[in-house]
Chain A
Amino acid sequence: MTDTSLAFVRKELAERRDPPSSFVGPVAWLRTNLFGSLFDALLTVMGVAIVVSLVWSVLDFAVVRAVWSAESGEACRAEGVGACWPFVEAYWKQFVYGRYPAEERWRPTLVFVLFAATLIPLAMPKVPYKRLNVIAFLVVMPIVSYFLLTGGIFGLVPVETTLWGGLLVTLIVSVVGIVCSLPLGILLALGRRSKLPIVKMLCVVTIEFWRGVPLITVLFMASNMLPLFMPAGMDVDKLLRALIGVAIFTSAYLAETIRGGLQAIPKGQYEGAMALGLGYWQMMGLIVMPQALKLVIPGIVNSFISLFKDTTLVLIVSIFDLLGMIQASLSDPIWISPVTGKTGYLVAAMLFWIFCFGMSRYSQWMERRLATGHKR
């Protein structure tokens, strides 16, 4: 009798086999994501067709059929041509500076540089000296910019605000709007959460009023009614009127954003501050606001994006921002042609899109960054 056992115990692990080829790799991806069913396949084909035709029509217009160099709009008036780039080249400086005197354009340029130099480090969480940076951005930069742009001091030639325009005005309106509306928004948000009934009611009415009306009517109001409100003989600059309107309008929206942040701060923080014997303003200024504002940075950036888009409306009260400048340049008889309009709008769209998309990506990134710190 031989000593053989039929029992089999495997000593080593079975060798790993690849999954069936229809479940991995590009083929499986295609099957699940693109051609899951007949309807899916149909949608895919339709989607690809739309993408291809859209991308091609834009490329065709902006590159293939485009006019690249010309002295006047004659070449752009030809049949079947695409974008009229020489028009943009001729007007580019005006899109950026408006009608700011040519020999003084270094001043807005310097302002742009200052703006970028103070904002970019502020936006990067890793860069130190945030407190100094905030002061530089909120106090030093605006004052220096104001004197640089208006002139009349240190031998700078005075430049009236009616000559300002283009990207310069877009940036001024949106930045001044957000910077001025921030303190106002904080006060309104605090007031809305106040226990004092009269203060609370005033703040609620103010916030809901400005949120309930369109920005255009606010701008009309600022440009038509502000001069009436002022004591006789006092005149308010047209740009300043628009800025006041924009700042008040934005502060109502910011107040609601900030209120959201205030509500997210746990009650223990308030109680802790009170237990330490801090008064209301100390509690808010030292304990609650720093945490709440940090939480609502993405919300503030989002408000800034919509304000940045809404600055285009100042065109209605005849202040020429980037879009206003482009719109005005379209009626220049030298360059007038069927494609000039599309070219101008394409430029405006690209500029606005880059700014807004960049900011929205930044706000999403910031949101993720902040979210990790508050996970429990």
Chain B
Amino acid sequence: MTKRPGSSGADEPPRVAWYNDPVKRGYIFQALTLLAVIVGAWTIIHNTAVNLEKRNIAQGFGFLATTAGFDIAQTPIDYPHDSSYGRAILVGLVNTAIVAIIGVVFATMIGFLIGVGRLSRNFVISRLCGAYVELIRNLPLLLQIFFWYFAVLSILPAPRNSLQIVPDWVFLNNRGLYLPEFHFGGFAGAGITWGFLAGLVISWFVRRWARRRQEETGQQFPAGWATLGLIFGLPLLAFIASGFDLTLVAAKKSTFNLQGGIQLIPELMALVVALAIYTASFIAEVVRAGILAVSHGQTEAARSLGLSHGQNLRLVVIPQAMRVIIPPLTNQYLNLTKNSSLAVAIAYPDLVSLGGIVLNQSGQAIEVIAIWMAIYLGISVTTALVMNAYNRRVAIVER
């Protein structure tokens, strides 16, 4: 038997040149990649250091303690005049969270309505919902924010001629939306809080008991209604027991402005409306896909078991659709949060907007951008981890 170079016998190791061995090649290739990355990073760091020195820009996060000296239009947490840059960025973070949370709530409500509506048998409704999706998701978000802010909200009347949405209680003008403040009396406030908490705890036990009983005897208990009743009923009882101890403080007209009450600034409203409407068009598609993903056989099987239409939806279709809906839905929530950074275009004081001011005043671009990136990445990564855990829990267990 003649041996060609490069081929090998059964028990010999293959005789290939070292540079053709895939394992060794892998090591060499990886070493080269790593080297390129390190050299690239070092060059960038070196250049940056030289440039910063030349421009006399300080380094490090010391600037966070410097007094900011600018005002913020919306301060959900205390922001006294001598606050630091760090405090300003924290205010921005809270403002971002406010927009994101309100936006997510509204986007979910609109999105589910539109998504279900698109599957409606009613011709007009399904087409209307389809048109909504096709119109809204093909328009840039920034355009929609501009539209709501500059074309709708800024041409509202001045505070003197406020529109009265609910006469004497809710006002709308070009400074924003004014809602009455809720002041609960001491006993009512505590009662409602404790009633709510007690409702949560008791309903958890009720549900557990109801499930046990159904497994043992087959008898059903309307646990959903009971939960609803407990969670809302107990606080309501406490409120009634306190003798309706609630004072609403509406905004009062002064010469040029409205005082008191809760003011939602127009920037916040424009941003929330635009974000909710825009994201809803994507959520609608997610919901539609999720419902369509539950095969019709499931519904037929449920009906042949004798489940009613409502039971079929509640026990068969929705739990399965949710499994498909939730991962992309979270993705949309994340997109909404990231898109809320467009606030900077209409100067809503969010993380990016306030960070931008700090960046311009202190000149410390790298540090500010690093803070932004770290916060947004933190949100993304946390969500991804939670999502992965959820997916593992709900994944279909194959037997």
Q: Can you list 15 pairs linking A and B with CB atoms under 8 Å apart?
A: A34-B122, A36-B122, A43-B120, A43-B125, A44-B122, A44-B125, A198-B30, A209-B373, A213-B376, A231-B47, A315-B345, A323-B142, A342-B151, A345-B146, A352-B138
Known: A34-B122, A225-B365, A330-B150. A211 touches B380 (CB 8 A): yes
Shortest Cβ distance from residue B281 to the other chain A in the assembled complex, whole angstroms: 12
Majority DSSP secondary structure for residues of A touching B: helix
Cβ of A216: which chain B residues have Cβ within 8 Å of it? 341-342, 344, 352
Interface string of A195-209 (1 = CB under 8 A from B): 111110010000011
Do A212 and B380 touch across chains, with their CB atoms under 8 A apart? yes
Interface residues on B, range: 35 or more
Given contacts A43-B122, A217-B352, contact A195 B26 (CB under 8 A): yes
Q: Is the CB of B373 within 8 A of A213?
A: yes
Q: Please state if A199 and B151 are interface contacts (CB–CB under 8 Å).
A: no
Partner of A212, one of B48, B123, B151, B381: B381
- Min Cβ gap A178→B in Å is 16
Task: Report the bound CA distance from A242 to B300 in whole Å.
Answer: 55
Are B142 and A313 neighbours in the complex by a CB distance under 8 Å? yes
- Interface residue SS majority, chain B: helix
Question: Is A50 an interface position by the 8 A CB rule?
Answer: yes
A32 to B134, CA, bound (A): 25
- Which of B50-58, B85-93, B160-168, B238-246 contacts the other chain? B50-58
Question: Cα distance A33–B50 when bound, in Å?
Answer: 71
Please determine whether B138 and A348 come into contact, CB atoms closer than 8 angstroms: no
Q: Report the separation of the CA atoms of residues A216 and B340 in the bound assembly, to the nearest whole angstrom.
A: 10
A304-343 with Cβ < 8 A to chain B:
305, 309-310, 312-313, 315-316, 323, 327, 330, 338, 341-342
Give chain B's interface residues, CB within 8 Å of chain A.
Answer: 26, 29-30, 33-34, 37, 44, 47-48, 50-52, 54, 120-125, 128, 134-135, 138-143, 146-147, 150-151, 155, 338-339, 341-342, 344-345, 352, 356, 359, 365-366, 369, 372-373, 376-377, 380-381
Using known A-B contacts A195-B26, A214-B339, A323-B146, determine if residue A228 contacts B369 with beta carbons closer than 8 Å. Answer: no
**Partner-B contacts on A (CB < 8 A):** 32-34, 36, 40, 43-44, 47-48, 50-51, 195-199, 202, 208-209, 211-217, 220-221, 224-225, 227-232, 305, 309-310, 312-313, 315-316, 323, 327, 330, 338, 341-342, 345, 348-349, 352-353, 356-357, 360
A187 CB to nearest chain B CB (Å) = 11
